[in-house]
Amino acid sequence: MSTLAEALAMIRSGPQGAQVAAVFDFGGTVVDGLARRSPARKLLRRDDDRAATLVGGIRRGGDDGDYARFLQAVERTWAGAAEADLTQLGRKAFREQIYGRMFPEAWQLVRAHQLAGHTVLLVSELTRFQVQPVAERLGIDTVLCTELAVEDGVVTGHPDGAPLWRTGKSAAVTEFTAGREIGYVYADSVTDLPLLELAEHPTVIDPDPALDAIAAGKGWPVLSFRPRRAPRPVDYLRTIAGFIGLIGGAIVGVARKSYTGKRQPMADALMHDATTATLRAIGVRLRVVGADNARAPRPAVFLFNHQSQFDVIIVPKVLDGAVTGVGKKELANHPLFGPLMRFVGVTFIDRTNTEAAKAALAPVVSTLRAGLSIAVAPEGTRSFTPGVGPFKKGAFHIAIQAGVPVIPVVVRNAGEIAWRDSPVARSGLVDVAVLAPIDVSGWNPADMDDEVDSVRQLFENTLLNWPCEP
C-alpha cells in the first residue's frame, strides 16, 4: 500500500509541463461505481430505463460480460433518443446522484497534476453522457470514451468505432498522447491492465483481486479511497435526532440567557446550544486547526467554502458567538433554519437581483462597525466537488468599507457528511482550518480581481496541503 500524501509528493517533485500525461480511469477510480450486479433502479426516483442504463453502467470492477450487457442496454434503451436529451439526462443524473460518488482523493490527484501543468485525461469505456459532466466539474478538458453513432441528432444505440474496452482504451490513450510521455495512469480493474502498463508511474486504486495480485508482483503503488456510500436508515434517524436537537438546543439557549433581556447574548447561546446538540446527535466531530484565529481579531468577515447544507451548523460552532451571517433569501422561508437565522440577525439577499443584493448588504457594514462579525460563503453556492469555485466580491467590499479583516475558514469533509443537496447527514469527522486574518484595507475596490483570486487560491492550497497544529 502507498499513501495519498506520497502520491501527491511524487507529482509535485516530478517532471512538470504539458508533455507529461496523467490518465485517470473513470468508474471505480474517479467515481465510486455501483457494486457489480447492484440494481440501479433502487437509486432512481422513478422507473426510467434510460436513466437506469446511464447510472447502472458506472460500476466498480466488472468483466467482459458486464460490459457486453451494458452495451446491449444502451442499444435497447437509448436507440432513437435525441442526443440533446441524453446529454440533459446525464447532467441531471450527475446533479442528483453521480456527484456524491466522486472521490475527494481523486480530486486531489487531478488538481495536483493540473497544478504541475500536466495534460490530464479522463478515460472510460462508458459514454460521454456519463463521463463529461464529471470531467467538467474537475476541470478536465480531454475525455476519451466510447462514442455513440449519431444521425441527424438522434443516437443509433451503436458505438461509433471501437468501444474503449481493454486494449481499446489503451489504444485510444496511446493515439492521443503521441509525442507526450504517459507519466501516470490511475485505474482499479484488471481489465485496465493494458492501460496501466503504458505508464511510467502506474497507480492502482482499490483494485479487484486479480489486479491486486498483479500490482503486488510488479511493485506498483496501491491507494485506498474511502467508499462513497448513500445514506443508511441509521443516518436518517440520526438526522431526525439532529433536527430535534437543533430546535431543542435553540430553545434552551434562548431560555438560558433570557434573564439578560438582550438579543445578542440570547442569539449567541442559541447558536452554541443548537449547534452543539445537532452535531452530537448526528455523530459529527470537529477537528479545528488555527482556533485562535477564530477568536481574534474581532469583528471580522469570516469566509468559508460551501459544500453542504450543514455548513450553517459547522461554521457557527467553530466561530462560537458574536457572529451572524449572510444567506440567500430562499433560506428565510425555510421552516427550520429560517426562524433561527432571522433571530440571530442573518441578512438575506436576492442573488438573482444584483442591485437588490447590494442594497441588502449595506446594513451589514453597520453590523460590523457595531462589533458583530459576519460569516459569508463567497462562492455564493454549494460546490459539487471538494474544490473551491470562483469567489464573488461582495464580502470583500463589505470588509473594506467596515475597516475589518477577512479571515478564511477552510472546511474539509463537510461534503462527505452531507452531499451537496441532501438534507441527510452521516456521522464522521469534519476538519476545519481557520487561517490568519488578511488585511484588505489597502485593496482598491475597483480593481481587486487578483487579490480576491489569491484568497480563493489560499483555500484550494489549504485543501491540497492540509495544515497541522504547530
Q: Which of 256, 319, 307 is nearest to 417 (CA)?
A: 307
- The residue behind cell 442569539 is 267
How does pLDDT run across 258-275, given as a tens digit for each residue? Answer: 999 999 999 999 999 999
What local confidence, expressed as pLDDT, does residue 457 receive?
A: 95
pLDDT of 228 higher than 80:
no
Q: Which of 308, 193, 202, 321 is nearest to 253 (CA)?
A: 321
Residue 371, Cβ neighbours under 10 Å: how many?
Answer: 10
Backbone phi, then psi, for 260, in 5-degree steps? -75, -25
How does pLDDT run across 43-82, given as a tens digit for each residue? Answer: 444 348 899 899 888 877 678 888 999 999 999 999 999 9
What local confidence, expressed as pLDDT, does residue 36 receive?
A: 45
How does pLDDT run across 15-50, given as a tens digit for each residue? Answer: 999 999 999 999 999 999 765 444 443 444 434 889
Q: Is 442 helix (H, G, I), strand (E, B) or coil?
A: coil
Of the given ranges (16-30, 66-80, 428-442, 456-470), which has the lowest mean pLDDT? Answer: 456-470
Q: Is 244 helix (H, G, I), strand (E, B) or coil?
A: helix
| Pairing label, strands 148-151, 154-159 | antiparallel
157 vs 47: which has the higher pLDDT: 157
CA count, 13 A, side-chain hemisphere, 450:
3
pLDDT of 361 higher than 90:
no
pTM of the model: 0.85
| Integer angstrom CA distances of residue 69 from 59, 188, 427 | 12, 20, 37
What local confidence, expressed as pLDDT, does residue 46 receive?
A: 38
How does pLDDT run across 285-301, given as a tens digit for each residue? Answer: 999 999 999 998 999 99
CA count, 13 A, side-chain hemisphere, 128:
17
